[in-house]
Homo-oligomer: A and B are copies of this chain.
Amino acid sequence: MVNESLVHPAPEESLGVLLGLVRSEIVRAMEAELAALGVELRFTQFLILKRLARLGPMTASELARAVELDGGAMTRQLDQLEGKGYLRRCPHEQDRRALRIELTNEGNALWQQLTDCNERVLEAAQRSLSETERKHLHDYLTRVLHALRDKD
């Protein structure tokens, strides 16, 4: 598969920089899209709700690990999301140290909007990539991630 933009490469941005730029554009686009729908959520909060919606109730620690967020930061995000009424801290049945974090009805109702919104942003971002290219992009990034994590 020949690609024209390989023939005229942009002034060489290093991978680290490029990743940062793309990510911050995606975050910006998502937050703007949400705000336009009247939903005031930061990207991190979107990620938290997404995990809960997809994986079901779990403890705050599991949630923190799932979104790679510090435990302390998670406590404060949960404060906010609970305050907005999207989730609830319930006592954990087997472990009295832990919490069972679950979406409220309102949180579940919001979820459809969030996932649609995410869909639109990712579609827009990748609109110049073919289906195959999208798969490759995902595959490459996954392999890079593994390379970085499994040192050697």
Residues of A within 8 A of B (CB): 1-3, 5-6, 9-10, 12-27, 29-30, 43, 47, 54-56, 58, 62, 65-66, 68, 94-95, 118, 121-122, 124-129, 133, 135-149, 151
Contact = CB atoms under 8 A, between A and B. Distances in A.
Contacts of A23: 16, 19-20, 23
Give the oligomeric copy count: 2
Contacts of A43: 16
B126 A144 contact: yes
> Which of A47, A143, A149 lies at the interface centre, i.e. has the most chain B CB atoms within 10 A of its CB?
A143
A19 B16 contact: no
Name the prevailing secondary structure of the A interface residues: helix
Given A19-B19, A118-B14, A129 B145 contact: no
A138 to B, nearest CB: 7
A133 B122 contact: no
B26 A141 contact: no
